[in-house]
Amino acid sequence: MNTYDKGPAFVVSIPPKWENVTAEALMRDIWQAPKKTVHQLRMDKAIILDGQPLNWTTPLKKGDKLHFSLTEKEYGVIPAEMPLHILYEDAHMMIVNKPAGMNTHPNNPSLEKDTLANAVAWHLQQKGEKVDVQHIHRLDKDTTGAVVFAKHALVKGILDRLLAERKIKRTYWAIVHGLITNKKGTITKAIGRDRHHNTRRRVSPSGQPATTHFQLLEQNKPKNLSLVQLVLDTGRTHQIRVHMSSIGHPLAGDTLYGGKPIVSRQALHAKYIEFDHPLTEERLAFEAPFLDEPPLFSAFFKKEGE
């Protein structure tokens, strides 16, 4: 697939596997794009083939180039210049590495200027891309790591579906108190709001189902700490923090859930992200490097000789 450098415009080149598929079937069956978005593309005549408006029911040929021309949109947030660590970018989306102490997006977009979304908007503005900045998922303010942003509604709708279907695999690393004895384990406990605390969540039988898989990576016996890798089947607010605390291993630095303030923040990092590209179906896999200065994770788990 080819893409323009500046959006919101891009080209999709039809590969052999999609030959004889109609644009209608491509949208409905292969991309499974939202009906509302597809309808808007039709109404706007936003897709051109060989210089002519697309016939949605004519079978496509290998090498056909679908030219998408999408309406420019306001960023939705105030562009603000800040350091931005980009793991991946194309005409459709960005994957960025969020630092600690920064919200994913503003609660009040007309006033706040210090979130990851503001930094993404600034980056796009400098490139001349005028698109609505849309996050696909969020990380807590003090959690670091990979976050996905969509650049247009078609990809946003497909990525939202992939997330709901658990096809965007996110893998976290955390430092927790105590020496975990099981090499692997699964925590399946429903999570609900804490009626006595506005921001806290808690294990609650009447809450939303939640499942967390953990794997022990390393132990620091002198400091009574364990390094664990975690994969979520669900994406509940504070899920890792609540689940690890519930089994007696709260995150280091996470004072809200019983962790001790031995580090400046909760020791949680979204280290890996993996999924199929929403349009090309190419497998994407990225590792988000640690950004903490001074180092947080490596300081607690140095190899011998370091």
Provide the CATH number for the domain around residue 146.
3.30.2350.10
Q: Shortest CA distance to 280 belongs to which of 102, 35, 92, 106?
A: 92
The radius of gyration of the chain's CA atoms, rounded to the nearest angstrom, is 22
Amino acid found at 126 = Q
Question: Are 59 and 114 in the same domain?
Answer: no
90 noted as active-site residue: no
Question: Are 178 and 191 in the same domain?
Answer: yes
- Last residue of one domain, picked from the residues 149, 165, 181: 165
The pLDDT of residue 166 is: 94
Q: What is the pLDDT along the chain (306 residues), one digit of tens a residue?
A: 544 444 567 889 999 999 999 999 999 999 999 999 999 999 999 999 988 889 999 999 999 999 998 888 899 999 999 999 999 999 899 999 999 999 999 999 999 999 999 999 999 999 999 999 999 999 999 999 999 999 999 999 999 999 999 999 999 999 999 999 999 999 999 999 998 898 999 999 999 999 999 999 999 999 999 999 999 999 999 999 999 999 999 999 999 999 999 999 999 999 999 999 999 999 999 999 999 999 999 877 765 444
39 in a structural domain: yes
Question: Are 193 and 213 in the same domain?
Answer: yes
Strands (E), the chain: 9-13, 47-49, 52-53, 65-69, 86-89, 93-98, 134-135, 144-150, 169-177, 184-188, 191-193, 201-203, 211-220, 225-232, 268-276, 283-287
299 in a structural domain: no
Show the domain range for 18: 9-69
Question: Are 261 and 185 in the same domain?
Answer: yes
The pLDDT of residue 18 is: 94
**Residue 119 host element (H or E):** helix 116-127
277 in a structural domain: no
The pLDDT of residue 302 is: 65
- Last residue of one domain, picked from the residues 147, 165, 183: 165
Question: Are 42 and 31 in the same domain?
Answer: yes
- Last residue of one domain, picked from the residues 165, 190, 214: 165
The pLDDT of residue 304 is: 41
Q: Could you say which of 140, 194, 276, 292 is catalytic?
A: 140
Question: Are 65 and 154 in the same domain?
Answer: no
- Cα 85 to Cα 89, 111, 120, 205, 254: the distances in Å are 11, 23, 10, 39, 25
The pLDDT of residue 301 is: 73
- Asked if 195 contacts 207 with a C-beta cutoff of 8 angstroms, the reply is no
212 in a structural domain: yes
The pLDDT of residue 303 is: 52
The pLDDT of residue 9 is: 76
The pLDDT of residue 5 is: 45
Question: Are 263 and 182 in the same domain?
Answer: yes
140 in a structural domain: yes
The pLDDT of residue 292 is: 94
Question: Are 224 and 251 in the same domain?
Answer: yes
Q: What is the DSSP letter of 147?
A: E
The count of structural domains within the chain is 3
Question: Are 265 and 174 in the same domain?
Answer: yes
The pLDDT of residue 243 is: 98
Question: Are 248 and 182 in the same domain?
Answer: yes
Question: Are 182 and 155 in the same domain?
Answer: no
